[in-house]
Protein backbone atom coordinates (compact mmCIF):
# COMPACT_ATOMS: atom_id res chain seq x y z
CA UNK A 1 0.00 0.00 0.00
CA UNK A 2 1.38 3.40 -1.02
CA UNK A 3 0.09 6.67 0.41
CA UNK A 4 0.73 10.00 -1.19
CA UNK A 5 1.64 12.51 1.55
CA UNK A 6 1.94 15.56 -0.71
CA UNK A 7 -1.12 17.26 0.77
CA UNK A 8 0.02 16.99 4.40
CA UNK A 9 3.66 17.77 3.62
CA UNK A 10 2.86 20.92 1.66
CA UNK A 11 -0.03 22.43 3.65
CA UNK A 12 0.91 23.92 7.01
CA UNK A 13 -1.15 22.68 9.97
CA UNK A 14 -2.90 20.13 7.77
CA UNK A 15 -4.06 16.98 9.62
CA UNK A 16 -5.14 13.84 7.77
CA UNK A 17 -6.65 10.86 9.59
CA UNK A 18 -7.16 7.54 7.87
CA UNK A 19 -7.38 3.80 8.25
CA UNK A 20 -5.81 1.44 5.79
CA UNK A 21 -5.52 -2.30 5.21
CA UNK A 22 -2.06 -3.81 4.91
CA UNK A 23 -0.92 -6.70 2.78
CA UNK A 24 1.59 -8.02 5.30
CA UNK A 25 1.55 -11.83 5.30
CA UNK A 26 4.90 -12.52 6.96
CA UNK A 27 7.84 -10.91 8.69
CA UNK A 28 11.50 -11.91 8.67
CA UNK A 29 13.42 -11.36 11.90
CA UNK A 30 17.09 -12.41 12.17
CA UNK A 31 16.77 -14.66 9.10
CA UNK A 32 13.65 -16.47 10.40
CA UNK A 33 10.35 -15.95 8.56
CA UNK A 34 7.09 -15.92 10.50
CA UNK A 35 3.67 -16.00 8.78
CA UNK A 36 1.07 -13.57 10.08
CA UNK A 37 -1.46 -10.88 9.36
CA UNK A 38 -2.93 -7.63 10.68
CA UNK A 39 -5.68 -7.98 13.30
CA UNK A 40 -7.36 -4.75 12.20
CA UNK A 41 -6.83 -1.91 9.73
CA UNK A 42 -3.90 0.36 10.57
CA UNK A 43 -4.82 3.79 11.96
CA UNK A 44 -2.80 6.75 10.78
CA UNK A 45 -2.79 10.41 11.74
CA UNK A 46 -0.57 12.63 9.60
CA UNK A 47 0.07 16.09 11.02
CA UNK A 48 1.95 18.86 9.26
CA UNK A 49 4.47 20.29 11.74
CA UNK A 50 6.15 22.90 9.57
CA UNK A 51 7.42 23.56 6.07
CA UNK A 52 7.83 20.20 4.31
CA UNK A 53 7.62 18.35 7.61
CA UNK A 54 5.03 16.03 9.13
CA UNK A 55 4.56 13.58 11.96
CA UNK A 56 3.10 10.14 11.35
CA UNK A 57 1.22 8.58 14.27
CA UNK A 58 0.32 4.95 13.73
CA UNK A 59 -1.56 2.25 15.58
CA UNK A 60 -1.59 -1.35 14.40
CA UNK A 61 -1.89 -4.89 15.71
CA UNK A 62 -0.58 -8.09 14.14
CA UNK A 63 -0.45 -11.74 14.98
CA UNK A 64 2.40 -14.00 13.84
CA UNK A 65 2.94 -17.72 14.22
CA UNK A 66 6.25 -18.59 15.84
CA UNK A 67 7.80 -21.54 17.67
CA UNK A 68 8.21 -21.48 21.44
CA UNK A 69 11.92 -20.97 22.17
CA UNK A 70 11.90 -23.83 24.70
CA UNK A 71 9.47 -26.54 23.48
CA UNK A 72 9.12 -25.53 19.78
CA UNK A 73 5.32 -25.65 19.98
CA UNK A 74 3.61 -23.24 17.58
CA UNK A 75 2.38 -20.10 19.32
CA UNK A 76 0.50 -17.02 18.19
CA UNK A 77 2.55 -13.97 18.95
CA UNK A 78 0.68 -10.68 19.06
CA UNK A 79 2.57 -7.52 18.17
CA UNK A 80 0.90 -4.22 19.00
CA UNK A 81 2.42 -1.12 17.48
CA UNK A 82 1.92 2.47 18.55
CA UNK A 83 4.57 4.82 17.24
CA UNK A 84 5.31 8.24 15.81
CA UNK A 85 7.79 9.07 13.06
CA UNK A 86 8.80 12.39 11.60
CA UNK A 87 8.94 12.63 7.82
CA UNK A 88 10.28 15.25 5.46
CA UNK A 89 9.34 16.26 1.94
CA UNK A 90 12.10 15.94 -0.68
CA UNK A 91 14.53 18.90 -0.42
CA UNK A 92 12.76 20.28 2.69
CA UNK A 93 15.72 19.46 4.93
CA UNK A 94 19.38 20.16 4.21
CA UNK A 95 20.39 17.36 6.61
CA UNK A 96 20.90 14.13 4.62
CA UNK A 97 20.53 12.12 7.86
CA UNK A 98 16.77 12.79 8.00
CA UNK A 99 16.35 11.07 4.63
CA UNK A 100 18.43 8.09 5.75
CA UNK A 101 15.97 7.68 8.63
CA UNK A 102 12.98 7.47 6.31
CA UNK A 103 13.80 4.61 3.89
CA UNK A 104 10.03 3.93 3.72
CA UNK A 105 9.52 7.24 1.88
CA UNK A 106 10.05 7.63 -1.84
CA UNK A 107 9.65 11.32 -2.56
CA UNK A 108 6.20 12.16 -1.24
CA UNK A 109 5.08 8.53 -1.18
CA UNK A 110 4.90 6.43 1.97
CA UNK A 111 5.36 2.66 1.61
CA UNK A 112 3.05 1.47 4.42
CA UNK A 113 4.35 -2.14 4.50
CA UNK A 114 7.97 -0.99 4.57
CA UNK A 115 7.30 1.29 7.53
CA UNK A 116 5.25 -1.28 9.48
CA UNK A 117 7.64 -4.17 8.88
CA UNK A 118 10.59 -2.17 10.21
CA UNK A 119 8.51 -1.35 13.32
CA UNK A 120 7.46 -5.01 13.79
CA UNK A 121 11.11 -6.13 13.57
CA UNK A 122 12.08 -3.47 16.14
CA UNK A 123 9.39 -4.60 18.59
CA UNK A 124 9.89 -8.34 18.06
CA UNK A 125 10.18 -10.02 21.51
CA UNK A 126 13.59 -11.27 22.65
CA UNK A 127 11.99 -14.53 23.77
CA UNK A 128 8.90 -16.33 22.50
CA UNK A 129 7.37 -18.71 25.00
CA UNK A 130 4.12 -20.73 24.82
CA UNK A 131 3.67 -19.88 28.53
CA UNK A 132 5.97 -18.03 30.95
CA UNK A 133 6.94 -21.22 32.80
CA UNK A 134 7.36 -23.52 29.77
CA UNK A 135 9.63 -26.36 30.88
CA UNK A 136 10.93 -27.04 27.37
CA UNK A 137 11.98 -30.38 25.96
CA UNK A 138 14.50 -32.79 27.45
CA UNK A 139 17.77 -32.39 25.52
CA UNK A 140 18.48 -36.12 25.99
CA UNK A 141 15.23 -37.95 25.15
CA UNK A 142 13.24 -35.13 23.50
CA UNK A 143 10.24 -35.46 25.79
CA UNK A 144 8.05 -32.36 26.20
CA UNK A 145 8.63 -31.72 29.92
CA UNK A 146 5.32 -29.81 30.14
CA UNK A 147 3.53 -33.14 29.75
CA UNK A 148 5.51 -35.04 32.40
CA UNK A 149 9.00 -35.91 33.54
CA UNK A 150 11.55 -38.31 32.12
CA UNK A 151 14.29 -40.35 33.79
CA UNK A 152 17.18 -38.49 32.19
CA UNK A 153 19.81 -36.78 34.32
CA UNK A 154 19.06 -33.05 34.09
CA UNK A 155 21.90 -32.09 36.41
CA UNK A 156 23.83 -29.15 35.00
CA UNK A 157 27.17 -28.83 36.78
CA UNK A 158 28.02 -25.39 38.09
CA UNK A 159 31.10 -24.30 36.08
CA UNK A 160 32.74 -22.91 39.25
CA UNK A 161 32.32 -26.25 41.04
CA UNK A 162 33.73 -28.01 37.97
CA UNK A 163 36.83 -25.79 38.15
CA UNK A 164 37.39 -26.66 41.83
CA UNK A 165 36.96 -30.33 41.03
CA UNK A 166 39.64 -30.00 38.33
CA UNK A 167 42.06 -28.49 40.87
CA UNK A 168 41.47 -31.37 43.32
CA UNK A 169 41.94 -33.92 40.58
CA UNK A 170 45.13 -32.22 39.37
CA UNK A 171 46.53 -32.26 42.93
CA UNK A 172 45.73 -35.90 43.31
CA UNK A 173 47.67 -36.71 40.14
CA UNK A 174 50.84 -34.98 41.43
> Residue numbers of the site for Zn ion (CB under 5 A)?
68, 70-71, 130, 134, 138, 140-141, 150, 152
Q: Smallest distance from the beta carbon of 39 to Zn ion, in angstroms? A: 23
Other beta carbons within 10 angstroms of residue 42's beta carbon come to 21
Pairing of strands 109-111, 32-38: unpaired
Q: Which is nearer to Zn ion, 81 or 150 (CB)?
A: 150
CA distance 80 to 86: 20
Which of 30, 19, 56, 24 is closest to 126 using CA atoms? 30
Q: Which is nearer to Zn ion, 123 or 140 (CB)?
A: 140
Q: Smallest distance from the beta carbon of 133 to Zn ion, in angstroms? A: 9
DSSP letter at 152 equals S
Q: Which is nearer to Zn ion, 90 or 125 (CB)?
A: 125
Q: Smallest distance from the beta carbon of 165 to Zn ion, in angstroms? A: 25
Q: Which is nearer to Zn ion, 54 or 68 (CB)?
A: 68
β-pair partners for 15: 47
Q: Smallest distance from the beta carbon of 140 to Zn ion, in angstroms? A: 4
Amino acid sequence: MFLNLTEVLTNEEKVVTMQTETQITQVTVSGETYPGHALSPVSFVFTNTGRGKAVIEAKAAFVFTAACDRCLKSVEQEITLRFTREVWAPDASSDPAVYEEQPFMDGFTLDVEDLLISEIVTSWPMKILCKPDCKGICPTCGRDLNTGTCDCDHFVPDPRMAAIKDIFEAEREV
